[in-house]
Amino acid sequence: MSHDTQEVSSNDVHARGPLLLLLGSGLVWLVISGVLALIASVQLHTPTFLASCAWFTYGHVQALQETAFVYGWLANAGLALGLWVLTRLGGEALRAGNWVTVGGLFWNLGVTLALVGIMAGDATGHSLLQLPRYVQPLLLIAYGAIAVAGVLAWSGRRSETSYASQWYVFAALFLFPWLFSVAQVALFVLPMRGVMQAITAGWFAQGVFTLWLAPLALAAAYYVVPKVTGRVLPAYQFASLAFWVLIVVGAWTGGRHLIGGPVPAWISSLAIVACSLLVFHYLVVWLNLKGALGHGGAVMKFTSFGLLAYVIGGCADAFTSIRSFTVVTQFTYFTQAQQQLALYGGVSMLFFGALYFAVPRLTGKTWASAALIGGHATTAILGVLLLVISLGVAGWTQGQALLKPAVTFPEIAAATRPWLLLASAAYTVLLLGNLMLVVNFLQTLVAKPTASAATLFQATSDIKETA
């Protein structure tokens, strides 16, 4: 039996409206961030591009694309998929769906205001926390409203025992507001002094990835892989250990961006040790989920690529945090390559995989176009590979040149230019692929329900059958 056929639960009907709203708005932000990323990339090799416009300085566009991608696309998609997984595994219909709808509307209003604010020059200047400070409380409240449904799904779950996906979603739902509110106080309400701001911002930025986005992506992967492959996860008994290693050690790695910086050396040394400890987490995730590789179908194509990128990216973080690597890669495009590998290659690709799995079940319809799915898979994989390689080579070239005092900055710009052009091409390919996803999503939404889907309107198979 093909696993792409419909398997609709009556529980999904309750989740349909709120979760499709989140997914749909996430996709809008995905395209917007794609356009902005392309503009920023072009500005790197063609500095005159949009230079006359105060709203679109490179600093602004870079902050805009990052905010639209993380708080627009990844947050919306991650919350939607996380809530979906949590309600399905809980065995009950989504409760407090109205809270999700209202929270989602305000969250997206907040992201819109944030982008306008950044264009007007109100970005905070902290990586992954560029949101102007006046938008942050609104986002925190909106997030709380969305998370209500998650808390109810967790506490109302039918089975006492819980599955890895549930731990990861619940942790992500709870830890993000913890991080976000503390960062707001420590950076803006009662700002810490001097370099403490950089240390706190580093702690937050690392936490956004390791305690919020990565858990949401892993929750989706842990749910989808056994569903599609129909096999028990190997070495599942270690999954809880991997979970706790990520949660306990994850946010300690924030100091690795400050290696050699004006902070006490123990801060970066601690980060380097934490990066190495996390390798254990990546190893177990790999052992658990490697069954996704070599499996056919779009869902597993995205998921296995995302898994590889997540594991390789994590190990690369551990390697490059070693000081003899850092001295070359620090302050270069190489760090951008690492970030794109983690956020786009890892988290986003795992979300794509789960999205292709979830949307037919949420809507009760098959995807409108198989060709567009194939096109998206090809362009996304090609685009991420091209992007990470081109930025990585550009960064390594730049890093080696920076170590030679005789090489001037115009010479460095000339040496990296071909690779930056390639990065712009990669952003174009990614944008095209994401447009295919949006078209397919919209066509699926407006299509009439297929007869076969209606007959398959039956109770969902429980995760216990597969896991």
Partner 1 sequence: MKNGTLFFFGLFASLTLSFAVVLLANHQLGALTPYFDDGEGKAFPDRMPGVAARGQLVYRDLGCASCHTQQVRRPGFGADQTRGWGERQSVARDYIFQAFPQLGTMRIGPDLTNSAGRKPSALDAEDLMNLLYSGQGAMPAHAFLFNQVKVTGEIPAKALKLTGSAAPAAGYAIVPSEQAQTLVAYLLNLNTVYDYPESRPVVLAAAHAEGAHQ
Is residue 44 near partner 1 by the rule CB under 8 A?
yes
Among residues 99, 106, 174, 280, which is the contact residue for partner 1, using CB under 8 A? 174
Is residue 167 near partner 1 by the rule CB under 8 A?
yes
Is residue 331 near partner 1 by the rule CB under 8 A?
yes
Quick one: 267 or 350, whose CB is closer to partner 1?
A: 267
Taking the C-alpha atoms of residue 343 and residue 220, their distance in angstroms, rounded to an integer, is: 15
Contacts (Cβ under 8 Å, ≥6 apart) of 347? 74, 78, 209, 213, 214, 216, 217, 306, 310
- 308 closest CA partner among 387, 395, 381: 381
Is residue 222 near partner 1 by the rule CB under 8 A?
no
Kindly state the smallest distance separating residue 123's Cβ from partner 1, in Å: 6
Is residue 211 near partner 1 by the rule CB under 8 A?
yes
Is residue 230 near partner 1 by the rule CB under 8 A?
no
Quick one: 43 or 340, whose CB is closer to partner 1?
A: 43
| E strand or H helix at 372 | helix 370-402
Is 372:436 a contact under the CB 8 Å cutoff? yes
Among residues 156, 185, 189, 196, which is the contact residue for partner 1, using CB under 8 A? 196
Among residues 90, 103, 250, 297, which is the contact residue for partner 1, using CB under 8 A? 250
Report the 10 Å Cβ neighbour count for 423: 30
Quick one: 46 or 450, whose CB is closer to partner 1?
A: 46
DSSP code of residue 73: I
Question: Rg (Cα) of the chain, in Å, rounded?
Answer: 21
Is residue 136 near partner 1 by the rule CB under 8 A?
no
Kindly state the smallest distance separating residue 259's Cβ from partner 1, in Å: 9
Among residues 5, 10, 98, 155, which is the contact residue for partner 1, using CB under 8 A? 155
Which residue shows structure tokens 């937050």?
204
Contacts (Cβ under 8 Å, ≥6 apart) of 46? none
Contacts (Cβ under 8 Å, ≥6 apart) of 66? 33, 127, 128, 130
Is residue 269 near partner 1 by the rule CB under 8 A?
no
* 3-class secondary structure, 406: coil
Q: Which of residues 337-396 bind partner 1 (CB under 8 A)?
A: none
Taking the C-alpha atoms of residue 465 and residue 230, their distance in angstroms, rounded to an integer, is: 8
Is residue 402 near partner 1 by the rule CB under 8 A?
yes
Quick one: 171 or 436, whose CB is closer to partner 1?
A: 171
Q: Which of residues 57-86 bind partner 1 (CB under 8 A)?
A: 57-60, 62-63
- Applying CB under 8 A, the span of 78-86, 137-145, 154-162, 430-438 interacting with partner 1 comes to 154-162
- Applying CB under 8 A, the span of 86-94, 173-181, 363-371, 382-390 interacting with partner 1 comes to 173-181
Kindly state the smallest distance separating residue 184's Cβ from partner 1, in Å: 13
List residues bridging with 457 in a β-sheet. 8
Kindly state the smallest distance separating residue 262's Cβ from partner 1, in Å: 4
Taking the C-alpha atoms of residue 3 and residue 343, their distance in angstroms, rounded to an integer, is: 27
Q: Which of residues 2-41 bind partner 1 (CB under 8 A)?
A: none
Is residue 127 near partner 1 by the rule CB under 8 A?
yes
Is residue 92 near partner 1 by the rule CB under 8 A?
no
Does the CA dihedral 63-66-68-72 come out positive or negative?
Answer: negative
